[in-house]
């Protein structure tokens, strides 16, 4: 996603002659030449302002298009916006005057997903409007620890050693040695002069706090009496002593720290000692890295862990405010770091959180946002999505900005991946905090665990949505059930209410003097053949009796319908109350979880009967069912909770006596019930109105019987009173079954006797009469009744967070800000996120502990596919994508971008295009000189080859949609300088020396592929002839054919193909693998093909180097004859992995354990296909041609010398070893039919 102030990327790409196309049209104005003597800073400012102008122009054009009356998708080629020649885009296009650019061209240029309807166009508008700001200069303040290629374990240890020797320990730790907020600084003095604040006095101490910008000044003054020396009891006056402290907010403190002379001195020292490439930021980055390491010398490899044992996702943090958790972190750091001073601890906490959990640093978090809740998970995923693309950015944003951006759907494929990863991480964090997953250091969870966590995450919001539907369901009616059954069988042409039936003489149970309708008779369950006759000449019972067998038993149907209704009613009430209880503060959840409870209802006294003769129905009808009271006693402390489900509120009462009068209150005379004045608002209990404070009512308090004492299940690990477990279900179920829902038999009688038509009419007119008058949430249910599920869900959650606590403002005040940010709608949307997308990430999760950079979390980890990947490419400097070896904490590698400087590969920052850090050991670039690639073109001028590769990489990754367009559709004949007679090298030289557009480069690369395909075809024919001459047979399937149709930008996948073929041969599926290659090549867009292509490429990334390719240790290279000898000695089937310097193959023998069939010999080269040999002799002849002196063998870049002949590294294929490196089921999936 591109930032708001920089709509275009700054990639130095191959320029296209755009001014001569229809995409860019000049605006007729006076020429605006750029001043040659303009300073770099002024140029930068000018460019920044011009970018903002471009952005406004783009949004204006989009807004005008969206506001048009037409609902049709506009033609984006005709929608244009103005581009300034001073903006990034204007300079890239080499504009001299302002010009108009088509929106369609610009979308392709940016690599955005093209909108296909107005809804998608609106999303694009919102995504640009709410895009995060530019990435801060110091990213996430972790320096080189958070780079794509981070500091190695040895480098981190060296930093610790250098800092240890440099420190002045008398001053404290590293931050105390560096920090020094000078009050004489001009900026500080200016800020202090503008400070305003407040003064508070407690006893003899006065504290004045003033703030301005990032600064806070606290002055504390204490007055003490002065006693006379002669008469000590006499007070002669007072003395006043004051202390003043100036602090800065953490982010600014870190910024100022890096400007301190001591910090600059340390940074330069570290830069020199470690041999880091000097850049503008390298010294500061090393200081920041040292600061982090001073707190955590051993960086954790576990998510959400700070230090050795401060886990942010600990279950006891559930429903705590972010500030409370940060305060706990402050105390932890002070306790575990004796040199750390209290004045600096918040800055250090900020530093820790800036990478490990940046969501804590977002500004203006609402008070209702509590850790571990669904709302927190949604917010956390939103922050993570931002951090993946721009580390450190979210800390510069406020809550509203984050959630506004999160309300947009991704507009790039990369952002789609980021959003899915972010949601998966937030889901796992939520599940750990809520006791649904056990925390693991490697963050590796199985598919079933992710699915279960996802179901648990969905459970609360989906339960509340379902509760809305359940509570809105009208009371079933037996008459309506019977009518529906009649219509099902006989249709709508008969008036079933017309009284035309009379009992026949054989019907001894019915009165023959009355007339009945079909509905009356069927409702009574007595509609039987021969028992009724028609009294009307226009109605006959004969056709009716023929179909009577199709009717249901109304008694059975009514019982089933009502039982389902009542079960749903209880479930709905239970879900609503559970939601409220689970959102209480920790202290009160603990009280309810572990204490003993009693339930109470309020009702009015029934005065129409003697107290001991009050009918149950009248007593039930006198209850206020819109609220109830829970009395909880825990550790000798009694607390009362007034629960009002319709209002979404729980009032905590600490002003009530431990014991109170309950039960029947009778008058002194007459044995009649009497109300007593009690401190409760009767209208809130009876009508569902908001409860009023200090209200008294004349009521009767009645105890509600409760079930046996609750006990926690052995497998329940959820926090106290969680929605997902604990005691919340039992408490809520008691309230639902004993009070909120009417007595089951009372409702059953009502359902059995009332007309459904009357109920429906009354329900529609009154809105909440009859059944809705009996249940809470009447207002919210209107949304659910009308099918407005999202609105109903929002109502439930908003009301649910409105817990009223004594002496504090109810949280309901924050509901509007939550609604306006669409947080809860997004929560529902994310709760419904496809589990397949989440578990689809598991394949890349690995089976071992992840390196630090990948687990906390791997922000920026997908950047090699981002828009604007390759930037600032020098003419004679090769910038390549490749894989590192052993550069991280765990000794593993990663795919990254690197630039060669002084014959050494340095990592490159994808955002700026600049090299940084120390040389990468074992860097293996992709695209022509890496291990296991297709045969390279002949050697020539390395600068020309490097420039060709740089231009192609630039075209592929900076404009990911334009390159394939040219590759597939643009004829090379239209490209200036191209000639049909050109060969592969000539085309490469043309690309290297020309200034082509991305589409034109794609076209030339496609022509180069055609020539390579033709060469491959000839080579495959030679391979077939050599194998056949040796006595074998072949099945050709050159990988070049497959890759040209499926992955034209991939150099080769011979390692993956050989590994997959090794498993296929072991399991007898080798032909299936080849069939799959053919199918994927012919149908690359098919779903199964796409999955096959992804899995094969993923396997290649794991085994695409010598160490990953070989299943076991390899010795010295051996000749093809030694390969034959080793196979000939095999007593069971055996496969050997064979590698040259840049290519992987395999050879083997199949042995029938029963001895029934002779041995079968095989050889597989991904460049050509599979060869089968019937005998050892024919196999030896075949390998002599394919690995040694045949035309095929001579083309291989083997080990060995002219004297020793060609040699290869060989190891035995081992499926178990493959499984330890890669998901074996995914490898096996490559060999199953697609």
Tens digit of pLDDT for each residue in 782-828?
A: 333 333 333 333 333 333 332 232 322 222 222 333 333 334 344 44
Handedness of CA 1174, 1175, 1177, 1180 (dihedral sign): positive
Q: How much is the pLDDT for 715? A: 67
Average confidence (pLDDT) over 268-286: 93
Q: What angle do CA 855, 858, 861 make, to 5 degrees?
A: 145
Concatenated DSSP letters of 530-595: TSEEE-STT--SHHHHHTGGGSPPHHHHHHHHHHHHHHHHHHHHHHHHHHHHHTS-HHHHHHHHHS
Question: What is the pTM (predicted TM-score) of this model?
Answer: 0.57
Whole-Å CA distances, 252 to 181, 188, 287: 11, 12, 16
Residue 911 pLDDT greater than 90, yes or no: no
Which residue spans within 1074-1167 are E strands per DSSP?
A: 1134-1139, 1144-1150, 1160-1165
CATH 3.90.70 domain locations along the chain: 1016-1230
Average confidence (pLDDT) over 279-303: 92
- Return d(Cα 725, Cα 957) in angstroms, integer: 48
Q: From the CB of residue 229, how many other CB atoms can be counted at a distance below 10 Å?
A: 8
Average confidence (pLDDT) over 121-133: 92
User: Which tens digits make up the pLDDT trace of 1174-1222?
Assistant: 999 999 999 999 998 888 888 788 887 656 778 999 999 988 888 887 7
Higher-pLDDT residue of 1130, 1018: 1130
Contact 1136, 1147 (CB under 8 A): yes
Q: How much is the pLDDT for 1097? A: 80
User: Which tens digits make up the pLDDT trace of 940-957?
Assistant: 555 677 778 778 877 877
Least confident of 48-52, 602-606, 758-762: 758-762
Q: How much is the pLDDT for 599? A: 95
Concatenated DSSP letters of 849-893: PPPHHHHTT-TTTTGGGSTT-S-S--TT--EEEEE-SS-STTS--
Q: How much is the pLDDT for 877? A: 37
Contact 1049, 1031 (CB under 8 A): no
**Residues with Cβ < 8 Å from 121, sequence gap 6 or more?**
62, 65, 66, 73, 74, 115
**Residues with Cβ < 8 Å from 968, sequence gap 6 or more?**
1002, 1006
Backbone angles phi and psi of 1115, in degrees to 5: -95, -150
Q: Starting at the edge strand that comes first in sequence, how are the strands of the sheet with 1160-1165 ordered?
A: 1033-1036, 1169-1173, 1160-1165, 1144-1150, 1134-1139, 1209-1212
Which H helix or E strand runs over 977?
none
Q: Starting at the edge strand that comes first in sequence, how are the strands of the sheet with 924-925 ordered?
A: 904-907, 895-901, 879-883, 924-925
Q: What angle do CA 733, 739, 743 make, to 5 degrees?
A: 105
Residue 228, burial from CB neighbour count under 10 angstroms (0-12, 13-18, 19+):
exposed
Contact 156, 891 (CB under 8 A): no
Residue 274 pLDDT greater than 80, yes or no: yes
Q: What percentage of the chain has pLDDT greater than the value 70?
A: 77
Pairing of strands 310-311, 516-517: unpaired
Average confidence (pLDDT) over 117-127: 93
Q: Which of 589, 572, 570, 574 is nearest to 722 (CA)?
A: 589
- Return d(Cα 13, Cα 996) in angstroms, integer: 9
Contact 633, 644 (CB under 8 A): no
Q: Which of 759, 755, 742 is nearest to 474 (CA)?
A: 759
Residue 765 pLDDT greater than 70, yes or no: no
Q: How much is the pLDDT for 165? A: 92
Residue 462 pLDDT greater than 70, yes or no: yes
Average confidence (pLDDT) over 899-910: 76
User: Which tens digits make up the pLDDT trace of 1114-1163?
Assistant: 778 899 999 999 999 999 999 999 998 888 899 999 998 888 889 999 99
Whole-Å CA distances, 1068 to 160, 972, 1133: 55, 44, 12
770: left (phi over 0), alpha (psi -120 to 50) or beta: left
Average confidence (pLDDT) over 521-534: 90
Higher-pLDDT residue of 152, 758: 152
User: Which tens digits make up the pLDDT trace of 918-938?
Assistant: 888 766 555 433 333 333 333
Residue 839 pLDDT greater than 50, yes or no: no
Residue 231 pLDDT greater than 70, yes or no: no
Residue 48, burial from CB neighbour count under 10 angstroms (0-12, 13-18, 19+):
middle
Q: How much is the pLDDT for 699? A: 93
Q: How much is the pLDDT for 382? A: 93
Average confidence (pLDDT) over 451-480: 83
Pairing of strands 499-503, 310-311: unpaired
Pairing of strands 596-603, 697-704: antiparallel
Least confident of 313-317, 322-326, 497-501, 899-903: 899-903
Query: Model confidence at 533, in pLDDT bands (50, 70, 90)?
Result: very high
Least confident of 428-442, 546-560, 1171-1185: 428-442
Mean pLDDT of the chain: 78
**What is the CATH code of the structural domain delimited by 1016-1230?**
3.90.70
Pairing of strands 532-534, 516-517: unpaired
- Return d(Cα 366, Cα 352) in angstroms, integer: 22
Q: How much is the pLDDT for 821? A: 33
Q: How much is the pLDDT for 239? A: 78
Q: Which of 691, 688, 690, 666 is nearest to 680 (CA)?
A: 691
Higher-pLDDT residue of 582, 141: 141
User: Which tens digits make up the pLDDT trace of 306-357?
Assistant: 998 999 988 888 889 999 999 999 999 999 998 898 889 999 999 999 999 9
Query: Model confidence at 385, in pLDDT bands (50, 70, 90)?
Result: very high
Higher-pLDDT residue of 1214, 227: 1214
Q: Which of 574, 471, 565, 564 is nearest to 792 (CA)?
A: 471
Average confidence (pLDDT) over 287-314: 91
Q: From the CB of residue 77, how many other CB atoms can be counted at a distance below 10 Å?
A: 12
Q: How much is the pLDDT for 29? A: 36
Residue 1050 pLDDT greater than 90, yes or no: no
Average confidence (pLDDT) over 65-92: 87
Residue 367, burial from CB neighbour count under 10 angstroms (0-12, 13-18, 19+):
middle
Q: What residues form DSSP beta bridges with 1208?
A: 1118
């Amino acid at each position: 996603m591109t930032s708001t102030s920089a709509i275009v990327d700054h990639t130095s790409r191959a320029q296209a002659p755009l001014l001569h196309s229809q995409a860019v049209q000049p605006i007729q104005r006076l020429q605006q030449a750029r001043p040659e003597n303009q300073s770099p800073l002024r140029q930068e400012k000018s460019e920044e302002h011009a970018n903002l102008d471009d952005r406004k122009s783009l949004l204006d054009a989009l807004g005008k298009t969206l506001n048009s009356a037409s609902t049709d998708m506009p033609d984006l080629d005709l929608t244009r916006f103005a581009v300034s020649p001073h903006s990034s885009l204007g300079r890239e296009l080499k504009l001299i005057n302002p010009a108009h650019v088509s929106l369609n061209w610009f979308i392709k240029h940016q690599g955005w997903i093209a909108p296909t309807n107005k809804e998608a166009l609106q999303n694009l508008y919102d995504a640009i409007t709410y895009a995060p700001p530019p990435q801060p200069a110091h990213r996430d303040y972790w320096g080189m620890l958070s780079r794509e290629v981070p500091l190695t374990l040895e480098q981190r240890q060296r930093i610790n050693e250098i800092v240890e020797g440099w420190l002045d320990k008398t001053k404290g730790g590293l931050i105390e040695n560096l920090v020094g907020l000078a009050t004489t600084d001009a900026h500080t003095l200016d800020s202090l002069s503008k400070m305003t604040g407040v003064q508070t006095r407690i006893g003899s101490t006065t504290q004045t706090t003033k703030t301005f910008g990032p600064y806070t000044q606290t002055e504390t003054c204490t007055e003490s009496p002065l006693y006379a020396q002669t008469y000590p009891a006499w007070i002669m006056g007072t003395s006043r002593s004051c202390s003043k402290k100036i602090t800065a907010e953490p982010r600014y403190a870190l910024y100022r720290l890096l400007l301190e002379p001591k910090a600059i001195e340390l940074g330069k020292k570290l830069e020199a000692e470690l041999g880091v490439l000097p850049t503008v930021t390298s010294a500061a980055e090393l200081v920041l890295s040292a600061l982090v390491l001073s707190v955590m010398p051993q960086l954790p490899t576990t998510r959400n862990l700070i230090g050795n044992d401060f886990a942010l996702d600990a279950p006891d943090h559930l429903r705590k405010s972010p500030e409370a958790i940060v305060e706990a972190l402050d105390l932890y750091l002070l306790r575990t770091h004796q040199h750390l001073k209290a004045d600096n601890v918040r800055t250090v906490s900020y530093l820790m959180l800036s990478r490990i959990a940046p969501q804590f640093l977002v500004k203006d978090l609402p008070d209702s946002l509590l850790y571990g809740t669904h709302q927190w998970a949604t917010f956390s995923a939103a922050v993570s999505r931002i951090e993946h693309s721009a580390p450190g950015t979210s800390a510069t944003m406020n809550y509203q900005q984050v959630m506004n951006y999160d309300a947009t759907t991704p507009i790039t494929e990369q952002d789609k991946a980021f959003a899915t990863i972010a949601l998966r991480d937030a889901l796992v964090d939520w599940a750990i905090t809520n006791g649904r997953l056990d925390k693991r250091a490697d963050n590796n969870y199985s598919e079933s665990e992710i699915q279960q966590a996802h179901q648990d995450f969905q459970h609360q919001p989906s339960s509340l949505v379902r509760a809305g539907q359940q509570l809105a369901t009208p009371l079933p009616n037996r008459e309506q059930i019977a009518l529906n059954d009649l219509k099902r069988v006989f249709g709508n042409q008969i008036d079933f209410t017309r009284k035309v039936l009379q009992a026949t003489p054989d019907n001894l149970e019915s009165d023959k003097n009355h007339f009945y309708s079909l509905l009356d008779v069927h409702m009574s369950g007595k509609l039987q053949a021969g028992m009724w006759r028609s009294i009307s000449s226009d109605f006959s019972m004969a056709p009716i009796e023929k179909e009577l067998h199709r009717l249901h038993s109304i008694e059975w149907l009514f019982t089933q319908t009502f039982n389902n209704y009542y079960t749903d009613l209880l479930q709905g009430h239970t879900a609503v109350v559970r939601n409220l209880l689970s959102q209480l503060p920790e202290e009160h959840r603990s009280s309810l979880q572990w204490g003993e409870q009693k339930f109470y209802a309020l009702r009015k006294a029934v005065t129409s009967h003697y107290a001991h003769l009050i009918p149950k129905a009248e007593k039930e009808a006198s209850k206020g069912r819109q609220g109830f009271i829970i009395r909880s006693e825990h550790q000798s402390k009694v607390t009362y909770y007034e629960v009002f489900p319709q209002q979404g509120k729980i009032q905590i009462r600490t002003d009530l006596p431990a014991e109170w009068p309950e039960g029947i209150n009778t008058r002194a005379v007459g044995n009649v019930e009497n109300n007593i004045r009690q401190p409760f608002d009767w209208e809130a209990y009876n009508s569902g109105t908001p409860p009023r404070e200090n209200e008294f009512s004349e009521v009767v308090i009645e105890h509600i019987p409760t079930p046996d004492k609750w006990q926690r299940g052995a497998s329940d690990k959820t926090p106290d009173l969680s929605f997902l477990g604990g005691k919340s279900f039992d408490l809520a179920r008691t309230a639902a079954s004993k009070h909120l829902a009417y007595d089951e038999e009372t409702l059953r009688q009502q359902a059995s006797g009332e007309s459904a038509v009357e109920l429906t009419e009354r329900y529609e007119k009154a809105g909440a009469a009859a059944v809705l008058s009996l249940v809470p949430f009447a207002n919210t249910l209107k949304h659910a009744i009308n099918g407005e599920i999202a609105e109903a869900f929002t109502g439930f959650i908003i009301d649910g967070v409105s817990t009223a606590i004594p002496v504090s403002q109810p949280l309901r005040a924050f509901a509007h800000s939550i609604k306006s940010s669409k947080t809860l709608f997004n929560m529902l949307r994310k709760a419904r996120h496809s589990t397949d997308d989440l578990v689809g990430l598991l394949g890349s999760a690995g089976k071992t502990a992840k390196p630090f950079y990948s687990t906390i979390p791997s922000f920026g980890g997908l950047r090699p596919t981002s828009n604007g990947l390759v930037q600032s490419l020098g003419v004679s400097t090769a910038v390549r994508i490749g894989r590192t070896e052993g550069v991280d904490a765990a000794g593993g590698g990663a795919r990254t971008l690197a630039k060669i400087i002084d014959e050494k590969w340095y990592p490159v920052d994808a955002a700026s295009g600049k090299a940084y850090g120390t040389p990468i050991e074992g860097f293996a670039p992709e695209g022509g000189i890496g291990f296991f690639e297709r045969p390279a073109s002949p050697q020539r001028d390395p600068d020309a080859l490097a420039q060709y590769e740089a231009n192609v990489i630039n075209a592929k990754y900076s404009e990911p949609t334009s390159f394939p367009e040219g590759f597939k559709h643009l004829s090379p004949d239209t490209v200036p300088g191209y000639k049909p007679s050109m060969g592969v090298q000539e085309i490469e030289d043309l690309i290297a020396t020309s200034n082509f557009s991305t589409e034109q480069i794609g076209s030339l690369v496609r022509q180069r592929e055609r020539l390579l395909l033709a060469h491959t075809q000839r080579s495959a024919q030679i391979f077939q002839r050599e194998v056949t001459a040796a006595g074998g047979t072949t099945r050709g399937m050159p990988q070049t054919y497959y890759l040209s149709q499926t992955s034209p930008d991939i150099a080769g996948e011979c390692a993956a193909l050989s590994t997959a073929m090794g498993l296929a041969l072991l399991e007898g599926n080798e032909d299936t693998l080849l069939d799959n290659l053919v199918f994927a090549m012919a149908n690359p867009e098919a779903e199964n093909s796409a999955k096959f292509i992804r899995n094969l490429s993923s396997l290649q990334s794991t085994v695409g180097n010598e160490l990953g390719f070989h299943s076991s240790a390899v010795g010295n290279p051996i000749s093809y004859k030694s390969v034959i000898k080793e196979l000939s000695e095999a007593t069971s089937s055996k496969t050997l992995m064979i590698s040259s310097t840049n290519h992987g193959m395999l050879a083997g023998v199949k042995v029938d354990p029963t001895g029934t069939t002779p041995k079968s010999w095989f050889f597989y080269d991904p460049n050509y296909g599979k060869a089968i040999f019937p005998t050892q002799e024919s196999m030896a002849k075949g390998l002599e041609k394919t690995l040694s002196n045949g035309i095929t063998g001579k083309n291989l870049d083997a080990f060995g010398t002219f004297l020793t002949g060609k040699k290869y590294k060989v190891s035995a294929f081992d499926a178990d070893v493959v499984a330890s490196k890669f998901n074996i089921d995914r490898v096996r999936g490559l060999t199953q039919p697609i």
